[in-house]
Amino acid sequence: MKLYGMQQSRSFRCLWALEETGLEYEYVPVKLRTEETDPDSAQHPNYLAVNVQGKVPTLIDGDLNLTESVAILHYIARKAPDSRLIPDADIQTLAKHDELVSFVLAELEQPLWSKGKHMFALPEAQRIPQMFETAKFEFAKAVRTLDHLLPDNEFAVANHFSMVDILLAQTFNWAIRFEFDVPQQYQDLRNRHYDRPAAKRAMELIS
Ligand SMILES: N[C@@H](CCC(=O)N[C@@H](CS)C(=O)NCC(=O)O)C(=O)O
């Protein structure tokens, strides 16, 4: 299995999950927003052949080619059921898990990505710096919603660590790096999960 990624981007979610499972894999660092002539660039034709958008992450396993971080997390979790990255739980708990996964993607990370797009990812002519304030407003709203969705517990669901804990911790880490206002309880969540041996090993791999 081969995972293409870039440092602390969304690919880190998948790298961390792989470390949680103990599955064998190869990590291939990719450079974003670089010249297509650079063989390590996400714009190089060889990489565009596996990820048409020139984004990370990409996971290759035999004939399987996956390019969405949450699909990759599910795949890794299903390949290693003993990891319990998909919670070992009843259908209702699984539904709450899926709700939180969707919430992270649709609500929590969107303002972060909006800031990233308008800071560096979009072509300069398309960037609107005024939207940073909107992103801040939307992130604060998402965080207030999360206060109602998350139990007062060490883990998000099922009383054990699962892939939604990776998603939450990585997304709050992203928010801190991008200088959003992250309440102390979510800084603590980030720190608690990034202290796991698998997260530390994943961090070592990208540093
Ligand atoms: N929905 C995708 C988003 C992938 C994505 O946008 N990745 C960013 C890095 S976090 C990227 O590769 N951006 C390309 C760029 O900024 O040029 C996923 O969750 O995997």
pLDDT at residue 113 in the model: 97
pLDDT at residue 18 in the model: 98
Backbone angles phi, psi at 114, to 5 degrees: -60, -45
Domain that holds residue 41: 2-85
Q: Which of 70, 85, 100 is the last residue of a domain?
A: 85
Are 103 and 48 found together in one domain? no
Are 177 and 100 found together in one domain? yes
Rounded-to-integer distance, Cα 141 and Cα 145, Å:
6
Give residue 124's identity as a one-letter amino acid code.
E
Are 132 and 193 found together in one domain? yes
- pLDDT tens-place string over residues 87-101: 989 999 999 999 999
Backbone angles phi, psi at 144, to 5 degrees: -65, -35
Q: Domain with 128 in it: what CATH number? A: 1.20.1050.10
Are 96 and 81 found together in one domain? no
Are 70 and 125 found together in one domain? no
Are 74 and 150 found together in one domain? no
Rounded-to-integer distance, Cα 197 and Cα 138, Å:
33
Query: 121: CA distance to ligand 1 center in Å?
Result: 10
Are 120 and 193 found together in one domain? yes
Taking the whole predicted model, whether its pTM rises above 0.85 is answered as yes
Residue with CA nearest ligand 1 atom 11? 55
Q: What value does the mean pLDDT of the chain take?
A: 97
Please indicate, yes or no, if residue 128 is contained in any of the structural domains: yes
DSSP H or E stretch at residue 64? strand 64-66
Query: 79: CA distance to ligand 1 center in Å?
Result: 24
- pLDDT tens-place string over residues 111-130: 999 999 999 999 999 999 99
Q: Which residues line ligand 1 (CB under 6 A)?
A: 9-10, 32-33, 55-57, 68-69, 121
Give the strand pairing for 58-61 and 26-29: unpaired
What's the whole-number mean pLDDT along residues 183-201? 98
pLDDT at residue 169 in the model: 98
- pLDDT tens-place string over residues 53-82: 999 999 999 999 999 999 999 999 999 999
Measured between alpha carbons, how far is residue 192 from residues 8, 80, 91, 156, 163 in Å? 17, 23, 27, 12, 15
pLDDT at residue 187 in the model: 98
Q: Which of 51, 68, 85 is the last residue of a domain?
A: 85
Q: Domain with 21 in it: what CATH number? A: 3.40.30.10
Are 51 and 106 found together in one domain? no
Are 64 and 126 found together in one domain? no
Handedness of CA 185, 111, 166, 172 (dihedral sign): negative
Are 169 and 126 found together in one domain? yes
Query: 129: CA distance to ligand 1 center in Å?
Result: 20
Ligand 1, residues 55, 65, 73, 178: which to mutate, most atoms within 8 A of Cβ?
55
Rounded-to-integer distance, Cα 42 and Cα 51, Å:
8
Residue with CA nearest ligand 1 atom 16? 121
Are 55 and 140 found together in one domain? no
Are 72 and 110 found together in one domain? no
Q: Which of 85, 117, 133 is the last residue of a domain?
A: 85
Ligand 1, residues 9, 108, 166: which to mutate, most atoms within 8 A of Cβ?
9
SS3 assignment, position 197? helix
